[in-house]
């Protein structure tokens, strides 16, 4: 790593840490949640940055076979090589500067020192695990799109860390207080929050012991990884080879819908084009948070955006051209005489299930970030309209207006071999999704302005419009699939 890169990294850490420590004097009421939130992001960056920058490791455990060393010794010796690295210096520098902000709280400095030592050890463990994961991805055929997606997440995290110098403390605090309270009970934020417990009159040592337990747990995980690399893997038995070849299809019941759903789910889990879409989803709430804080938007307003935006990307961005993305299955469905509605429904089930998980996790977190649990109803309405509307519109448009896409198994950012951008299909389908979301969005705006029962109306309007769009879109898409079967087969062969 060049001297210039090291100096720039140190300068950025000093500026960010200094800005956060400076909140202890002028805006002490948001200093604690700012420390917890920013510290959690720093630990997450410590894990993800080596995934992007890692090279195939020269200090690989298999390289020490024959030297009489044990996996236990290597699991302790290899992390020690990180103590003299730039990540270690940056972690120590950041922790020292931020911890200096606790000087005004009697007794908090000592706790900050103890928790800081544990945090540095935890950060170095995450750096080592990230380096190992990055080296593993380098050796995999489809590791590049995953690392590119991680790089996008890192850019969003860096923007979050740079938000405090740009934001008004009032708006920054409205967003950070609930987020910091949530992160304070997680392994990433608890140790950063430990000195603040002194100000509350509670004991911080229980939290520190839990942090030490997390460090010990990660040590066991690292020891397991070293042992697995050191000893290698045994050759699988014949029945295990058969099971591995079948994969999850061993558990799929017979039937057209089940088979189509299972094959489509395999694409979502294994194809790089779909995996990149899934990995990029966490970038959306991070970018929204930065835009809201810097733009001084009230927390309850921008809390309504991330979940519907993620579900639009999930239900529309990939699915509106899924006949081209999943083209290898078109000819088999047409030749087998599969009803078009089963093809459309089977392809829609995997994103629908993923979307339900996003709703279940994202709605309460968004309501927590917005500081108002009354946001739950309009969030569910907007999210349902975005997910079901995206699936319904995409099911209809993709069967009627497919356009060239990267072939199955291609890298996530690879360009298609055929010409044609499909701009018309993209514009038409995206506009239709916005129309499905419009009733719930209108009711939500009226609720924010007038209150009353508009939140319930937003909930019902979102679910109702989404269900209508999903049922109608799958039916229309099925009709198009049956009528245009030969043309779709010819399209899949050409593209």
The torsion region of residue 403 among left (phi > 0), alpha (psi -120 to 50) and beta comes to beta
Nearest to 35 by CA among 103, 124, 102, 118: 102
- Which DSSP category does 111 fall into? H
Q: What is the C-alpha to C-alpha distance for residues 270 and 251, in angstroms, rounded to an integer?
A: 17
Pair 404, 495: CB distance under 8 Å: yes
Pair 119, 187: CB distance under 8 Å: no
Give the chain's mean pLDDT.
76
In the prediction, which pLDDT does 464 show? 93
Q: Which of 275-279, 311-315, 336-340, 380-384 has the highest mean pLDDT?
A: 380-384
In the prediction, which pLDDT does 488 show? 74
In the prediction, which pLDDT does 408 show? 64
In the prediction, which pLDDT does 19 show? 73
Q: Helix or strand or coil: residue 386?
A: helix
Summarize pLDDT for 10-22 with one digit per residue, the tens. 787 777 777 777 7
pLDDT band at 387 (very low <50, low <70, confident <90, very high): very high
Over residues 163-172, the mean pLDDT reads 57
In the prediction, which pLDDT does 242 show? 45
Whether the per-residue pLDDT at 120 is higher than 80: the answer is yes
pLDDT band at 245 (very low <50, low <70, confident <90, very high): very low
pLDDT band at 468 (very low <50, low <70, confident <90, very high): very high
Burial environment of residue 381 by CB neighbours within 10 A (0 to 12, 13 to 18, 19 or more): buried
**Sign of the dihedral through C-alpha 486, 488, 492, 495:** positive
In the prediction, which pLDDT does 382 show? 93
Q: What is the C-alpha to C-alpha distance for residues 302 and 178, in angstroms, rounded to an integer?
A: 14
pLDDT band at 241 (very low <50, low <70, confident <90, very high): very low
Whether the per-residue pLDDT at 495 is higher than 70: the answer is no
Summarize pLDDT for 178-202 with one digit per residue, the tens. 777 778 888 778 888 888 887 777 7
Which has the minimum average pLDDT: 23-27, 147-151, 294-298?
23-27
Whether the per-residue pLDDT at 240 is higher than 50: the answer is no
Task: Pick the more confident residue, 142 or 211.
Answer: 211
Tokens of 412: 């996530």
Task: Pick the more confident residue, 341 or 423.
Answer: 341
Whether the per-residue pLDDT at 31 is higher than 70: the answer is yes
Q: What is the C-alpha to C-alpha distance for residues 452 and 395, in angstroms, rounded to an integer?
A: 36
Task: Pick the more confident residue, 310 or 249.
Answer: 310
Summarize pLDDT for 63-89 with one digit per residue, the tens. 566 566 666 666 676 667 767 777 778
Task: Pick the more confident residue, 422 or 300.
Answer: 300
Summarize pLDDT for 259-305 with one digit per residue, the tens. 777 777 777 777 777 777 777 787 788 777 777 766 677 777 878 88
Over residues 93-104, the mean pLDDT reads 81
């Amino acid at each position: 790593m060049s001297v210039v890169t090291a100096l720039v990294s140190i300068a950025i850490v000093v500026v960010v840490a200094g800005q956060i420590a400076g909140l202890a004097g002028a805006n002490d009421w948001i200093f604690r949640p700012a420390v917890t939130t920013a510290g959690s992001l720093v630990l997450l960056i410590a894990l993800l940055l080596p995934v992007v920058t890692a090279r195939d490791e020269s200090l690989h455990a298999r390289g020490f076979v024959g030297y009489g060393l044990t996996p236990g010794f290597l699991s302790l010796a290899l992390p020690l090589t990180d103590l003299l690295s730039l990540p270690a210096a940056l972690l120590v520098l950041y922790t020292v500067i931020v911890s200096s902000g606790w000087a005004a709280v009697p007794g908090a400095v000592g706790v900050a020192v103890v928790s800081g030592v544990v945090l540095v050890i935890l950060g170095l463990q995450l750096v080592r695990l990230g380096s190992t994961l990055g080296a593993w991805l380098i050796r995999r055929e489809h590791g590049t799109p995953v690392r590119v997606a991680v790089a996008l997440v890192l850019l969003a995290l860096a923007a979050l860390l740079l938000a405090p110098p740009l934001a008004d403390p009032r708006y920054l605090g409205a967003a950070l207080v609930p987020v910091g309270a949530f992160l304070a009970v997680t392994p990433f934020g608890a140790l950063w929050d430990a000195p603040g417990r002194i100000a509350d009159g509670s004991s911080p040592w229980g939290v520190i012991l839990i942090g030490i337990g997390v460090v010990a747990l990660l040590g066991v995980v690292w020891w397991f990884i070293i042992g697995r690399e050191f000893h290698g893997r045994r050759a699988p038995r014949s029945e295990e080879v058969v099971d591995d070849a079948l994969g999850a299809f061993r558990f799929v019941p017979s039937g057209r819908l089940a088979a189509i759903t299972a094959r489509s789910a395999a694409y979502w889990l294994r194809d790089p084009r779909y995996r990149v879409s899934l990995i990029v989803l966490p970038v959306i709430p991070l970018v929204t948070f930065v835009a809201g804080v810097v733009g001084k938007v009230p927390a309850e307003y921008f809390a309504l955006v991330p979940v519907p935006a993620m579900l639009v990307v999930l239900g529309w961005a990939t699915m509106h051209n899924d006949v081209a993305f999943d083209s290898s299955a078109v000819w088999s469905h047409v030749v087998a005489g599969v009803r078009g509605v089963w093809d459309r429904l089977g392809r829609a089930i995997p994103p629908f299930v993923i979307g339900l998980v996003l709703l279940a996790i994202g709605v309460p977190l968004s309501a927590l970030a917005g500081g108002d649990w009354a946001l739950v109803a309009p969030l569910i309405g907007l999210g349902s309209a975005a997910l079901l509307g995206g699936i319904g519109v995409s099911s209809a448009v993709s069967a009627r207006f497919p356009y060239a896409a990267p072939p199955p198994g291609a890298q996530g950012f690879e360009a298609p071999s055929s010409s044609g951008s499909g701009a018309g299909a993209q514009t038409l389908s995206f506009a239709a999704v916005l129309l499905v979301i419009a009733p719930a969005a209108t009711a939500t705006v009226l609720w924010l302005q007038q209150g009353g029962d508009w939140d319930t109306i937003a909930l019902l309007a979102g679910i109702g419009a989404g269900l209508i769009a999903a049922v109608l879109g799958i039916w229309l898409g099925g009709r198009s699939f049956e009528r245009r079967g030969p043309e779709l087969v010819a399209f899949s062969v050409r593209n």
